[in-house]
């Protein structure tokens, strides 16, 4: 498994998971029609200093994505990820989230990174907790989804807390 920049040729792989209702059930987007996925990929191909976006690749197949929305003026970021259902429950979201945290703190020198999850999305909440983020708040009726308003749990980790975490294998 590795992360890389998105390519035009990734559209079919991305659409395979972006068109599945359960993938977007806690998001404001999707399930995607093919044109939605194509437009999304085109958008991501452009330069954007406030977004670090990478696709997750296993055996030459894109099975998800991870990103960091960057606020340069405040030196903060917001992490996000999506994984094809066939690959969920295998620790992939946690591994790529660790890579994103490392990039944010080590390369961008961010001071804080947050993560947000629908209160009902237990799997995503577990990922954020596993990578060392602490629950800081719950925002009620935060986003309007297809099934009504979403309540959002906000998690956070500071640069100091990230650097104090025990190293793997210790």
**CATH pick for 2-164 out of 3.40.630.30, 3.40.1160.10, 3.40.640.10, 3.10.129.10:** 3.40.630.30
Structure tokens at 94: 């946690």
Q: Does residue 11 sit in helix, strand or coil?
A: helix
pTM of the model: 0.92
| Digit-coded pLDDT (tens) for 18-50 | 999 999 988 888 899 999 999 999 999 988 899
The predicted pLDDT at position 169 comes to 46
| Digit-coded pLDDT (tens) for 80-113 | 999 999 999 999 999 999 999 999 999 999 999 9
Interval 2-15 mean pLDDT: 97
The predicted pLDDT at position 165 comes to 86
| Helix, strand, coil content of the chain in percent (nearest 5) | 35, 35, 30
The predicted pLDDT at position 145 comes to 82
| Digit-coded pLDDT (tens) for 42-79 | 999 988 899 999 999 999 999 999 999 999 999 999 99
* Structural domain boundaries in the chain: 2-164
């Amino acid at each position: 498994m590795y992360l890389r920049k998105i390519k035009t040729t990734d559209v079919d792989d991305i659409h395979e998971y972006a068109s599945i209702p359960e993938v977007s059930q806690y998001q404001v987007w999707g399930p995607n029609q093919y044109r939605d996925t194509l437009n999304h990929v085109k958008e991501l191909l452009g330069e954007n200093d406030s977004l670090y976006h990478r696709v997750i690749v296993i055996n030459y197949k894109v099975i998800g994505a991870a990103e960091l929305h960057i606020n340069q003026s405040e030196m903060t970021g917001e992490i996000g990820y999506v994984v094809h259902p066939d690959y969920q429950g295998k620790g992939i979201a946690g591994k790529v989230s660790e890579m994103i945290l490392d990039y944010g703190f080590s390369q961008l020198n961010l001071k804080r990174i947050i993560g947000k999850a629908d209160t009902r999305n237990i799997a995503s909440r577990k990922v954020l907790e596993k990578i060392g983020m602490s629950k800081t708040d719950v925002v009620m009726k935060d986003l309007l989804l297809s099934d009504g308003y979403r309540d959002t749990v906000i998690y956070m980790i500071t640069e100091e807390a990230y650097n104090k975490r025990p190293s793997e294998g210790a």
